[in-house]
Amino acid sequence: MKNIFAVPVSGKYLVHAPLHRLTALVNHQAARAIRDGLTTGTPAAGPVGALTVELARPVPAPTARDGDLAPLFLGLIPTRGCNMACRYCDFAAPKRGSPVMPLATARAALDAYFQLDIPAPEVHFFGGEPFYAEPVVRFAVEYAALRAAEAGKTVRFEVTTNGLYSTGRCRWTADTFDTVVLSLDGLPDEHDYHRPALNGRGTSGVVIRSARILSEGTAELVLRACVSEQTAPRLPAFARWIGRELRPSTVCLEPLSESPLSRAAGLQPPDPWAFARYFDQTALILAEYGIQTVLSSADLRAPRASFCPVGKDALIVSPDGAVNACYLLDEEWLARGLDMRLGRVNGGAFDLDARAVQRARQMTVDHRPRCANCLCRYYCAGGCHVHHDTQAAPGQYDELCAQTRLITAAALLRQVGGGGLADDLLADRSLSEAVVYQPDDRLEVLC
């Protein structure tokens, strides 16, 4: 019963079992009947009993990986360099002059990856800005496609990019990649302030042009917006504009993470309570256009044990050939006492430390105490290992937890027809705080 949760919302209980993919909105008496039926093994009669029987069905929880290496994907970082000077960027690498991955390293990494005989190979490109080292990207795509064809397979490509490049490059990207994650931080004036070019000029004109080209290509377009205190109130207007102008499958809204640069620019993370309201409003608007809205820590599409590729055997290769479990800079995770190093590319093979692989695999929600009794534990899974400290005691939720818990609860309420309750939850601070600060969401502790 430990993975079945009950959250009180305005006289009702939101009962949710993430592993069963089951949600119900019931009164207090029904919630207690479900708990008692699960405890005694004697379900009540009627609909509550049927629900109890379904919840009694054993469903395995996501756990740490084991056995042979099975990479989620191969990640390549062609360079840490970038042609933008975002005012909040938390990458310490220099924008100009960062090392570029030699083509020989890219080839060796791909040779090593295809030696693993992955059934459905995937290659993802990260940065900096990957296309700041365009020859590496083009070579890697063509060489990976060749290796996949030799093996009788099709390789899937994904890139995270800023879209600040030529029409020709953008069209090639739109028709070559399977998924393009494009950063677009709001309406033109907002984007220009948050994401200027290296010369200080606005970039919205080129990036929006790229977004339109990508909307017309074969690639799945995912828009990612970094949301600050300044841009949060305009998210609904941004959503209307996206719906009219572009055709993404998904819009990811991520609150700004503070950095020395963001503080110097006067940019702050959004208030978590306000962000939850604006996120919900934005999701409703985008849904009218058939567009999904996602917060990475409140992604309800499937349960997971780890928030990100860490722990899922992802092999992310830096320009110097180092293989890590995380795409962030070494100094970021080392400063938090984390070691994401897995090994190196050596010739045409991966030289990996088996103990390091096991260490990364153990970085799951089961080792994040703050998350132990939380409704969101298998969706958020604790959030970013580097940027979110989850070693506090169970139930000691912080501001990142607050927005995740509110957005998750509101989305679940809407799934079961409780839209009015979702509206009340987000509009009434006392209701919001009752949900956010409930220290133990487990059904078994229901009074």
CATH number at residue 184: 3.20.20.70
Q: Is 67 contained in some domain?
A: no
Number of domains present in the structure of the chain = 2
**Cα(164)–Cα(211) distance, rounded to whole angstroms?**
10
- Is the pLDDT at 92 greater than 70, yes or no? no
Mean pLDDT score, 406-415: 98
- Are residue 199 and residue 117 in the same domain, yes or no? yes
Give residue 249's pLDDT.
98
1-5, 16-20, 108-112, 219-223: least confident range: 1-5
In a domain, 350, yes or no: no
Do 113 and 249 lie in one domain? The reply is: yes
Q: Are strands 74-76 and 22-26 parallel, antiparallel or unpaired?
A: unpaired
Radius of gyration of the chain (CA): 23
Judge if 249 and 280 occupy the same domain.
Answer: yes
Q: Which tokens sit at 111?
A: 């040779």
Distance (Å, rounded) from C-alpha 406 to C-alpha 280?
Answer: 9
pTM above 0.85, yes or no: yes
Q: Which domain holds residue 11?
A: 5-62+370-398+409-445
End residue of a domain, out of 298, 329, 359? 298
Give pLDDT tens digits for 47-85: 999 999 999 999 999 999 999 999 999 999 999 999 999
Both 137 and 201 in one domain: the answer is yes
Q: Is the pLDDT of residue 1 over 90?
A: no
* Residue 78 located in a structural domain: yes
What is the structure's pLDDT at 93? 63
Nearest in space to 261 (alpha carbons), one of 222, 239, 228, 308 = 228
Provide DSSP, 236-301.
HHHHHHHHHH---SEEEEEEPPP-HHHHHTT--PPPHHHHHHHHHHHHHHHHHTT-EEE-GGG-TT
Q: Are residues 22 and 165 in the same domain?
A: no
**Arithmetic mean of pLDDT over the chain:** 95
Token pair, residue 416, equals 């079961």
- C-beta separation of 91 from 80 below 8 A: yes
Look at residue 345 and tell me if it is in a domain: no
d(CA 145, CA 316): 19
**Same-domain pairing of 237 and 384:** no
Q: Would you state the structure tokens that stand for residue 409, as one six-digit string?
A: 């609860």
Q: Which of 438, 347, 430 is nearest to 112 (CA)?
A: 347
User: Do 22 and 141 have their domain in common?
Assistant: no
Say yes or no: 24 and 141 in one domain: no
Q: Which of 298, 315, 340 is the last residue of a domain?
A: 298
Of all residues in the chain, the percent with pLDDT exceeding 70 is 99
